[in-house]
Amino acid sequence: MRTWEFEQRPVIVSTGTVGGPFEANGRLADDFDTLHDDLWLNEATYEKAHKVLFEEASLRALEKAGITKEQVDFFIGGDLINQITPTSFTAKTIGAGYFGLFGACSTSMEGLALSAFIINNGGAACIVTGSASHNAAVEKQFRYPTEYGAQKPPTSQWTVTGAGASVVMAQGEGPVVTSATIGKVVDMGLTDPMNMGGAMAPAAVDTIETHFRDRKIDASHYDLIATGDLGHIGREVAFDLLKKHGTDIPEEKFQDCGLLIYREDQPVLAGASGAGCSAVVTYGHLLNRMKKGELRRILIVATGALLSPLTFQQGETIPCIAHAVSIEYGGGNL
Amino acid sequence: MANNKKKNLTPIQQEYQQFQSEREVKRPVVKNCIKAFFVGGLICLIGQFIQTFFIYNFNFTEQTAGNPTVAVMIFIAMLLTGFGVYDRLAQFAGAGSAVPVTGFGNAVISAAIEHRSEGFILGVGGNMFKLAGSVIMSGVFAAFIVALIKTLLIQWGAL
């Protein structure tokens, strides 16, 4: 069994989302707490700006919940930079017990699943969890220099500049985390780092099917199933693969965070990606829709490609993972 | 090559890769080639104008005008890179903006800008040629091989 059911119903009491200039022009601009019009965020380096993104999102979430840093038991988060330094600096600012995660773009739900599990079992009363990515800092590490003129293929994705954090507590008002399915590494032998959607799709399919099987439910249980950041190609592949396996999900219910965040006319090729992508879309847009009553039960399946620049240069395949967390709001029972 | 790689894959992996490949959006190779041809040609045309300008207005000959022309072209590439335009041009032009000397300039300059935050010695100095280094290496090696062949042909009296 890779699925946890949370009988104590841990609550997401508040969230904080911060985005950059590209996100401000996107479709979900209204769902951000803070938007910056400068990629540098008044810092000397992109890495420092990355840290500030995460700090702002975490502090904003605490402020909205009316909680001080001293009341936080644990901070659980991650990002894509080597040794997850932006997260560790954020942890220093918050000053709580700290778990640093690396799950690439699946980190948001890995953190939420662990937070809910710890709270459900009485291990803490208040946890801050989240993830972040910064377009220029991540591109610098994984691809080419920002200003280098390399033509990207239509399968490549745009790294989100953004951070999403949430405050998870044992008691309070807000959407509740009802269950989580922890993903296993799925590697279909793909090696193209410019087509991560295609590599990650089988991991998302595996986690969704495991979730349904473990909880003995089907797609009709949810109003929305949102994958992390598969993009156009990955989403289509995952949808067709689920259909082939006999898991039917109505097309309009099967969304992707990487496709929700930007407008069609933004030059993002196959869609968005990055550790901040599923975090800002879930903690901003999707939870706002739940609070408006448009959605009651959702399943977020954050997908991650666990490659490094070193492994793909050495010709290794791309190991992928997906973590699913179900969130409910508004008088529902488990 | 492709078949060799496939040998290490399980049948499930092979089946999935086939499945994925059918849904993957391919690079529009013909369209990219046409765009590269015209943008690359346009960059060369600008270079030709500059060279002609140097020959007619200063004391340069066709042989000596090359160096100032290249310097001007790289200077323009530097400005475009610094203002964040060159990478956008490249997304449209592909090889058209990568192959001319301006592409080489862009590779050096973008790396220098990118790693300025790590300081002048380890950052700029250490990383400036991280993309262009392989171009220089290939160029020097290719020149060596060609020179070797020429020398041997002269020795054997073929030339």
How many CA atoms lie within 13 Å of A74's alpha carbon, on the beta-carbon side? 23
Q: Which residue of chain B comes nearest to A188, CA vs CA? A: B13
The pLDDT, as a whole number, for residue A332 is: 47
Tens digit of each residue's pLDDT (9 = 90 or more) over A42-80: 999 999 999 999 999 999 999 999 999 999 999 999 999
Give the architecture (CATH level 2) of A176-328.
Answer: 3-Layer(aba) Sandwich (3.40)
Position B145 pLDDT exceeds 50: yes
Q: How far is Cα B38 from Cα B45, in angstroms, rounded to an integer?
A: 10
The pLDDT, as a whole number, for residue A146 is: 87
Per DSSP bridges, beta strands A272-273 and A158-159 are: parallel
DSSP state of A194: T
Chain A residues within an 8 Å CB radius of B25? 154-155, 232-233, 270
Q: Any idea where the domains of chain B sit in the sequence? A: 2-103, 133-159
Position A298 pLDDT exceeds 60: yes
The alpha-carbon radius of gyration of chain B (Å, integer) is 22
Q: Name the percent of chain A lying above pLDDT 90.
A: 94
Q: Name the percent of chain B lying above pLDDT 90.
A: 88
Tens digit of each residue's pLDDT (9 = 90 or more) over A210-245: 999 999 999 999 999 999 999 999 999 999 999 999
Average pLDDT, chain A: 95
CB contact under 8 A, A146 and B110: yes
Q: Any idea where the domains of chain A sit in the sequence? A: 3-169, 176-328
Q: How far is Cα A71 from Cα A124, in angstroms, rounded to an integer?
A: 10
* Average pLDDT value for residue range A151-158: 93
CA angle A262, A29, A19 (to 5 degrees): 85
CB contact under 8 A, B117 and A46: yes
Tens digit of each residue's pLDDT (9 = 90 or more) over B57-104: 998 999 999 999 999 999 999 999 999 999 999 999 999 999 899 999
pTM comes to: 0.93
Position A260 pLDDT exceeds 50: yes
Q: Which of B23, B95, B117 sits opposite A240 (nearest CB)?
A: B23
The pLDDT, as a whole number, for residue A334 is: 41
Chain A residues within an 8 Å CB radius of B87? 146-150
Q: Which residue of chain A comes nearest to B19, CA vs CA? A: A237
Q: Which of A149, A190, A244 sits opposite B98 (nearest CB)?
A: A149
The pLDDT, as a whole number, for residue A330 is: 76
CB contact under 8 A, B87 and A147: yes
Q: Which of B27, B81, B95 sits opposite A147 (nearest CB)?
A: B81
Average pLDDT, chain B: 92
Question: Best interface-test mutation with B: which of A147, A156, A185 has the largest number of B CBs within 10 A?
Answer: A147
CB contact under 8 A, A154 and B26: yes
Question: What is the phi-psi region of residue A99: left when phi exceeds 0, alpha when psi lies from -120 to 50, beta otherwise?
Answer: beta
Chain A residues within an 8 Å CB radius of B13? 187-189
Check: CB of residue A153 under 8 Å from CB of residue A292.
no
Chain B residues within an 8 Å CB radius of A21? none
Chain B residues within an 8 Å CB radius of A151? 32, 90-91, 93-95, 98
Q: For residue A10, which of A180, A257, A221, A210 has the smallest C-alpha distance?
A: A180
Chain B residues within an 8 Å CB radius of A189? 8-10, 13-14, 16-17
Position A333 pLDDT exceeds 50: no
Cβ-Cβ pairs closer than 8 A, A with B, add up to 101
Q: Which residue of chain A comes nearest to B128, CA vs CA? A: A145
Position B1 pLDDT exceeds 50: no
CA distance B51 to chain A (A): 25
* Average pLDDT value for residue range A12-36: 96
> What's domain A3-169's superfamily in CATH?
Stage V sporulation protein AD (3.40.47.40)
Question: What angle, 0 to 180 degrees and rounded to 10, lies between the N-to-C axes of helices B11-23 and A231-244?
Answer: 130
